[in-house]
Amino acid sequence: MTDSSASGDEFNLDDFNLLSSILQSKFGLYFDTSKFPTLKSAVKERFKEIKPKNIAAYIELIAAAEASYSFPIDSEIRTFGESKQALNSATRESHCLVELLTVNETKFFRNKEHFRAIREKVLPELIESRASEKKLRIWSSGCSTGQEPYSIAMLVTEAITEIQNRKGTKENWEVQIIASDISEKALNIAAEGRYRNDDISQIERTLVDKYFFAPTHERVATAPLELEQFSGYGRAPHARGKSRATYLIKPEIKAAVTFYYFNLASDNYPVDLFSNFDLVICENVTIYFSQEITRRVIDNIYRAMNEASYLFIGYSETLWQISDKFKLINNFDTFYYRKPTALEDQAQTLKYSSRITAPLPPDIAKTSAAQSTKPPPRVDTAPLQTGQPIAATPPPLSFGADSNWQALLKDGLTRMAKHEFTEAGRYLEKAVYYSNGNLESLIALARLKAKISNYTEAEELCRRAISADPLCEEAHLILGLIMYRKGNLAESIFEFQQVIYIDIESVPAHMYLGDIYRNAGQTAAAIREYRHALSALRKYASEDMIEDLPVSILKQSCEQNLSVLNRA
């Protein structure tokens, strides 16, 4: 029996906390309290459809949903198999709710640097190493409306054809591309393989002519989704009308791709379907997940991969503090990962994964190696003992002992702002001592030591801060700057990337990375970083200060660098 007055309006913060925890445990979707309006809007939308008795009954329904399963979609008739029909009502309703909470946004050849690396490096290596069995298995996890797996299918076909033409032989390769997503609506459109003119506008014309049928004028639903009533996760609803002119993927490309509904947050992956992959693309998927869920997903993906296989994740994603099992690779102005073979040195692999010692451009590698051999700058203070307090006893101060470390910290920061560095150091060291190594005082003292080029102590203070809080943004930023100034560019890149993992809109980290890539001749990577910095600066007023510089100057610097690089 339903309550006709129930509309979902009564959805409150307690309901939000309970439902969001269920969605996270079952589907990996993470919601902080800022997403309360989004989740409430989705719940109200579902109340209109199924009219549950009340909020408690609806949450109970979602809690009863199954989450760990998969089922295929038929690429010809666009219907799910019998396994889908067997799902209980709770599970079907959870699908409907999740549809309202996820964004299906993608493009053909979306991340150009990634696809260039796949085309020019990864696929040639895989085709050569798998030449005896002539079999490739690829997984597009989070395939949305299908552009990504179809892009891969086109690249694989091109790569195999090119090698065959070069050798003058005709070889039959078995190429299996598994494409999965949590959105049934997206999967239906993906399996249809029909796209608008503007969807394929960024594809090389030769590929369009080769792998798409000429435009038809049938009025059909095409990718991206028809979103008249679609409320995206963290985004306002948006709509896009149907189009008459559509392009259809040719059968030889469609035949290489099989679409499955699958929840990546499942505890275990079915080995008959998700195993023996040579290439996995998991881009912009884990951004929805908590670190715990992301770690589980990456571990499952690792187990599903062959040795010497490759993993690509999104630009805003990282495996830092997630997995140390992969080797980080740097090619074509981008980063990706490789699963090592059993014969490779595991200790070296762990070292590569925990610190950014992936192959660097020659200019960076040469500069970093040469400058890292220089002795550290001479400093007047003794180096700190690792893991020990700044001083065994309170440092002597002329104004007498004061255990109010917050007041000492404030005074130290005031003197540092006035460039009274000697006095500032005495106050800040006292603040660190009396606060028992409080994070705020450690960072303040580290900034001071870096300002006076005492990099040895500054580095030690940063590492102590990171040990206390691995997600301490300022510690990673200062440490990255120290390594940059010492010429250790590999370590510098690593630290700045950790800053971006913590805060994707960190202006200093993007600008320093832009400088490093520009000086190394990595034009595309430098442009990308300066653009990210410029985008992040838009939320600031011109007179705001970032790292002691006005925003207006930082904007001007980014614009000038971009102007020069775009002309290069």
Q: State the Cα–Cα distance between residues 470 and 474, nearest whole angstrom.
A: 11
* Among 113, 203, 112, 124, CA closest to 162: 124
Check residue 143 and give its pLDDT.
Answer: 92
Pick from 295, 294, 288, 297: nearest CA to 269: 297
Burial of residue 131 (CB within 10 Å: 0-12, 13-18, 19+) is exposed
Question: 484 with 512: CB under 8 angstroms?
Answer: yes
CA distance 505 to 496: 12
pLDDT of residue 80: 38
Q: Copy the structure tokens of residue 333.
A: 């102005």
Which 3 state secondary structure label does DSSP give 64?
coil
Which of the four CATH numbers 2.60.120.620, 3.30.70.3270, 1.25.40.10, 3.30.230.70 does domain 405-567 have? 1.25.40.10
To the nearest 10 degrees (0 to 180), the angle between helices 489-502 and 507-519 is 150
- What region, left, alpha or beta, does residue 308 occupy, with left being phi > 0 and alpha being psi -120 to 50 degrees? left
Kind plus residue range of the DSSP H or E element containing 326:
none
Q: Where are the domains of the chain?
A: 405-567
**Distance between CA 177 and CA 146 in Å, rounded?**
11
Structure letter (DSSP) for residue 271: T
First to last CA, the chain: 70
Please tell me the predicted confidence (pLDDT) of residue 445.
Answer: 95
Is there a contact between 493 and 474 (Cβ–Cβ < 8 Å)? no
pTM: predicted TM-score of the whole model, two decimal places: 0.60
The closest of 464, 152, 442, 148 to 283, measured between CA atoms, is: 148
Lowest mean pLDDT among 91-95, 211-215, 397-401: 397-401
Q: What are phi and psi of 479, to 5 degrees?
A: -65, -40
Task: Label residue 232 by pLDDT band (50, 70, 90).
Answer: very low
Cross-strand pairs, 282: 313
pLDDT score of 263 more than 80:
yes
pLDDT of residue 358: 38
Per-residue pLDDT band at 239 (split at 50, 70, 90): very low
Instruction: List residues bridging with 195 in a β-sheet.
Output: 223, 247
Interior angle at CA 559, CA 557 and CA 565, nearest 5: 100
pLDDT of residue 285: 85
142 vs 106: CA distance, rounded Å: 10
Alpha helices in 469-506 (DSSP H): 473-486, 489-502
- On whether the CB atoms of residues 187 and 148 are closer than 8 A, the answer is no
Helix/strand/coil (H, E, C) string of 402-415?
A: CCCHHHHHHHHHHH
Burial class of residue 240 (count of CB atoms within 10 Å of its CB; 0-12, 13-18, 19+): middle
d(CA 318, CA 449): 30
Which has the closest alpha carbon to 273: 404, 158, 141, 128? 141
- Return the percentage of the chain with pLDDT > 90, whole number: 35
3-state secondary structure 243-296: ECCEEEECHHHHCCEEEEEECCCCCCCCCCCCCCEEEEEECCCHHHCCHHHHHH
DSSP 533-560: HHHHHTTS-TT-EETTEEHHHHHHHHHH
Q: Are 476 and 502 in contact (CB under 8 A)?
A: yes
**Which token pair is 176?**
């299996």
DSSP H helices in 261-330: 291-303
List, in order, residues 6 or more apart from 366 with CB less than 8 Å away. Answer: none
Read off the pLDDT of each residue in 528-537 and give the average, rounded to a whole number. Answer: 92
Q: What is the mean pLDDT of residues 143-163?
A: 93
Place of tokens 């709509």: 239
Higher pLDDT, 87 or 481: 481
Q: pLDDT digit string (tens) for 388-447?
A: 333 334 444 443 444 689 999 999 999 988 888 889 999 999 999 888 889 999 999 999
Q: Would you list the DSSP string of 130-165?
A: TTTTTEEEEEEET-TTTHHHHHHHHHHHHHHHHHHH
| pLDDT for residue 370 is more than 50 | no
Instruction: Quote the CA–CA distance of 180 and 258 in Å, as a whole number.
Output: 8
423 burial (CB, 10 Å; 0-12 / 13-18 / 19+) is middle
Tokens of 527: 């442009």
Task: Please list, in sequence order, all residues whose beta carbon lies within 8 angstroms of the beta carbon of residue 367, skipping any fewer than 6 positions away.
Answer: 487, 489
